[in-house]
Amino acid sequence: MYRNKYPGFILFLVIYLISFSVGASPEKIIQELRLPPGFQVEVFAQVPGARSLEVASDLGVVFVGTRGSRVYAIDLKTRIPRVFASGLKVANGIAYRDGFLYIAEQHRVIRVTTDGSKDVQILFDGLPDKSHHGWRYATFGPDDRLYISVGAPCNICTVNGLEGKIIALSPRGGKPELVALGVRNPVGLAFHPKSQLLYFTDNGADNMGDDSPPDELNRLDIAGQHFGYPWFGGGQDRTPKFARQPLPEGNFIAPVIKFGAHVAALGIHFYSGSMFPPEYRDDAFVAQHGSWNRSSPVGYRVVRVRFDQAGQPVSYDPFIEGWLNEGSTLGRPVDVAELPDGSLLVSDDYNDLIWRITYQAP
Note the pLDDT of residue 1.
44
How deeply is 141 buried, as exposed, middle or buried, from its count of CB atoms within 10 A (0-12, 13-18, 19+)?
A: middle
DSSP 34: B
The predicted structure's pLDDT at residue 21: 44
Query: What does the pLDDT read at residue 249?
Result: 83
Q: What pLDDT is stored for residue 19 in this prediction?
A: 41
Q: What is the DSSP letter of 217?
A: E
CA–CA dist 169, 159 (Å, integer): 20
Stretches in the chain below the pLDDT threshold 70: 1-22
Q: Is 46 part of any domain?
A: yes
How many other C-beta atoms can be found within 10 angstroms of the C-beta atom of residue 117? 8
Q: Residue 305 domain-assigned?
A: yes
CATH of the domain at 203: 2.120.10.30
Contact 21, 99 (CB under 8 A): no
State the number of CA atoms in the 13 A half-sphere of 352 facing the CB.
19
Report cis status (omega within 30 of 0) of the bond before 213.
yes
Position 146 in a domain? yes
200 strand-pairing partners: 189, 218
* Residue 177 within any structural domain of the chain: yes
Give the C-alpha separation, 313 to 31, whole Å.
31
CB 349 within 8 A of CB 332: yes
* Pair 332, 263: CB distance under 8 Å: no
Identify any residues that bridge with 84 across adjacent strands, giving them in sequence order.
none
The closest of 60, 125, 44 to 89, measured between CA atoms, is 125
Which residue segment(s) compose the domain that 200 sits in? 7-359
Distance CA 174, CA 18 (A): 42
pLDDT of residue 22: 52
Work out whether the CA dihedral 239, 244, 249, 254 comes out positive or negative: positive
Residue 254 located in a structural domain: yes
CB burial of 321-340 (b: ≥16 within 10 Å; e: otherwise) equals: bbbbbeeeebbbbbbbbbbe
Antiparallel, parallel or unpaired: β 177-181 and 225-226:
parallel
The predicted structure's pLDDT at residue 207 = 96
DSSP type of residue 329: E
Our count of domains for the chain comes to: 1
Residues 10-62 have pLDDT tens digits of 443 444 344 434 579 999 999 999 999 999 999 999 999 999 999 999 999 99
Q: Are 270 and 283 in contact (CB under 8 A)?
A: yes
- Residue 1 lies inside a defined structural domain of this protein: no
Give the pLDDT of residue 17.
45
Strand partners, 318: 303
* pTM to 2 decimal places: 0.93
Contacts of 202 (CB under 8 A, 6+ apart): 183, 184, 185, 186, 187, 215, 216, 218, 227, 229, 234, 255, 265
Domain membership flag for residue 2: no
